[in-house]
């Protein structure tokens, strides 16, 4: 069947493009005419039936360069729709035009669904309309390729930006973690600071108090306050840089004596607070003595070749302070008692330790322990039996003011 009206067979002279078009028809005359018309503008391949066309496409090195397939519908061995259906798998981006002399709407709809046909052309057809159809198909193919390339470019940019954002987020998280660590750490000694202790102590208190109420042997929280003796003399005689070195050396002593799970806190100036976590309170005196001895053995070398020695005064108290009433005294009150015990150690000659505990008459009421503001308040509470004391010195050697 003729595919063009005979009066429209003039061949335009145009520069060939880079697009490849595959023509498939079992009638040689039709191929010759189509090739003559389209060959001036496109790189044209020819096949005499669907099977040959399929083999030709499968043998192509760059099947993505195949922009368009124009196939007759009725051919031996394979119909045009069957060919296009297989090309959907081999070259999905190639557009497909079916040329047919028969008009069947149901068959067309089914073919479009199965073989994703770009357009049906009914023979005979106007050459100008046909060329326009081919041109529009080529333009659609180009647009899709540009869109696909643009999508790939955008996806690559998104991946790159996502990676950059992830890296920046990781860096920001690291900086935030470093800032958080700095906000919880004493910059000189590397020990924790008060803010850190306030953030973690409540959980330990809850566990220690539950242990006291249930009788479980998880241990207590023992608060040790440690003060370097005559520290001011170091700054006055040797300078603040030596004083800073001494504070760092004391921090190392604390790390040596206490466990890594204990809280070591730069409390202020030359004072340090240690929370020995879940330690039986009966071992507090042993630990205090070990700390005193280790500190007394500390030698800090100076630039002139001499060595600096310093001792420390230690006070401690345990929480729950009243085992029979774990909620009767808060941790700040226990720290205050440890602070008073430490000042008692200083008044008693320094280089010693004192621990305070509940006395024999201390009851479970929250007001059983009056507020203690200074070490001078301790003797009255001791005489009433509200407080008890354990110390490295004999009772008659203790001084509270």
- At 255-298, the pLDDT tens digits run 999 999 999 999 999 999 999 999 999 999 999 999 999 999 99
pLDDT band at 40 (very low <50, low <70, confident <90, very high): confident
* Residue 220: both structure tokens together: 């207590």
**DSSP type of residue 303:** T
Whether pLDDT at 31 is above 70 = yes
pLDDT for the residue 140: 92
Which pLDDT belongs to residue 365? 54
pLDDT interval class at 4 (50, 70, 90):
low
Q: Tokens 């994703």 belong to which residue?
A: 116
* pLDDT of amino acid 7: 43
Q: How far apart are CA 320 and CA 340, in angstroms?
A: 17
- On whether the CB atoms of residues 355 and 390 are closer than 8 A, the answer is yes
- Residue 369: what pLDDT? 65
d(CA 337, CA 378) in angstroms, rounded, equals 9
Residue 53 pLDDT > 60: yes
- 82-91, 111-120, 125-134: least confidently modelled range: 111-120
373: left (phi over 0), alpha (psi -120 to 50) or beta: alpha
Give the position of tokens 């010693």: 352
Question: What is the CB neighbour count within 10 angstroms for residue 85?
Answer: 17
CA distance 343 to 350: 9
For residue 12, pLDDT over 60 is answered with no
- The pLDDT of 113-138, averaged and rounded, is 88
**Does an H or E element contain 71, and which?**
strand 66-72
Write down the pLDDT at residue 355.
97
CB 91 within 8 A of CB 141: no
**Active-site hit among 270, 271, 286, 390:** 270
Burial of 382 per CB tally in 10 Å (0-12, 13-18, 19+): middle
d(CA 301, CA 316): 30
- Check the CA dihedral 218-219-223-229 and report its sign: negative
Q: Compute the distance between CA of residue 327 and CA of residue 319 in angstroms, rounded to an integer.
A: 9
Structure tokens at 61: 């090195």
pLDDT of residue 196: 94
pLDDT given for residue 27 in this prediction: 92
The mean pLDDT of the chain is: 88
Mean predicted confidence (pLDDT) in 28-34: 92
pTM exceeds 0.75, yes or no: no
Percent of the chain with pLDDT over 90: 66
Given a cut of 60, whether residue 218 has pLDDT beyond it is yes
- Give the per-residue pLDDT at 155: 94
In tens, the pLDDT along 147-177 reads 999 999 999 999 999 999 999 999 999 998 8
Inform me whether the pLDDT recorded for 20 exceeds 80.
yes
Please name the residues in contact with 228: beta carbons below 8 A apart, sequence gap of 6 or more: 246, 247, 250, 270, 310, 312
Per-residue model confidence (pLDDT) at position 1: 52
pLDDT value at 215 more than 70: no
pLDDT of residue 2: 54
Please say if the pLDDT value at position 217 is more than 70.
no
Helix (H) or strand (E) holding 99: strand 95-100
Residue 9, pLDDT score: 42
What phi and psi, each to the nearest 5 degrees, are found at residue 71?
A: -125, 140
Mean pLDDT computed over 50-78: 91
pLDDT at position 6 is 46
Residue 11: the pLDDT is 45
pLDDT at 114: 75
Distance from C-alpha of 237 to C-alpha of 168, rounded to nearest angstrom: 49
Task: Indicate if 271 belongs to the active site.
Answer: no
Does 6 or 128 have the greater pLDDT score?
Answer: 128
Q: Give the highest mean pLDDT range of 34-38, 39-43, 292-296, 370-374.
A: 292-296
83-87, 106-110, 202-206: least confident range: 106-110
The per-residue pLDDT for 105 is 61
What pLDDT band is residue 180 in, cutting at 50, 70 and 90? confident
Answer whether 253's CB lies under 8 Å from 294's CB.
Answer: yes
């Amino acid at each position: 069947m003729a595919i063009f009206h005979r009066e429209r067979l003039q061949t335009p002279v145009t520069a060939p493009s880079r697009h490849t078009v595959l023509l498939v028809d079992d009638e040689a005359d039709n191929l010759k005419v189509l090739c003559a018309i389209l060959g001036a503008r496109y790189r044209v391949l020819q096949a005499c039936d669907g099977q040959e066309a399929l083999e030709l496409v499968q043998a192509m090195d760059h099947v993505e360069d195949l922009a368009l397939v124009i196939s007759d519908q009725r051919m031996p061995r394979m119909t045009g729709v069957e060919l296009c259906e297989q090309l959907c798998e081999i070259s999905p981006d190639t557009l497909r035009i079916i040329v047919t002399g028969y008009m069947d709407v149901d068959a067309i709809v089914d073919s479009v669904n199965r073989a994703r046909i770009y357009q049906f052309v009914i023979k005979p057809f106007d050459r100008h309309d046909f060329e326009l159809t081919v041109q529009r198909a080529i333009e659609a193919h180009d647009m899709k390729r540009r869109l696909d390339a643009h999508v790939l470019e955008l996806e690559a940019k998104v991946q790159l930006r996502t990676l950059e954002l992830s890296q920046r987020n990781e860096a920001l998280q690291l900086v935030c973690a470093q800032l958080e660590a700095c906000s919880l750490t004493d910059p000189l000694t590397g020990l924790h600071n008060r803010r850190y202790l306030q953030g973690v102590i409540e959980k330990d208190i809850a566990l220690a108090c539950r242990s006291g109420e249930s009788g479980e042997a998880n241990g207590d929280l023992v608060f040790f306050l440690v003060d370097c003796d005559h520290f001011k003399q170091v700054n006055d005689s040797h300078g603040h840089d030596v004083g800073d070195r001494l504070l760092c050396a004391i921090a190392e002593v604390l790390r040596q004596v206490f466990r890594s799970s204990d809280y070591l806190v730069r409390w202020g100036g030359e004072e340090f607070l240690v929370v020995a976590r879940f330690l039986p309170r009966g071992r507090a005196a042993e630990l205090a003595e070990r700390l005193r001895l280790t500190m007394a053995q500390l030698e800090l070398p100076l630039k002139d070749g001499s060595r600096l020695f310093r001792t420390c005064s230690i006070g401690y108290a345990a929480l729950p302070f009243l085992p029979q009433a774990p909620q009767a005294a808060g941790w700040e009150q226990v720290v205050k008692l440890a602070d008073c015990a430490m000042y008692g150690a200083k008044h008693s000659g320094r280089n010693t330790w004192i621990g305070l505990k509940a006395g024999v008459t201390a009851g479970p009421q929250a007001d059983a322990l009056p507020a203690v503001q200074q070490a001078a308040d301790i003797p009255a509470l001791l005489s009433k039996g509200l407080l008890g004391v354990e110390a490295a010195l004999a009772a008659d050697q203790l001084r509270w003011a």
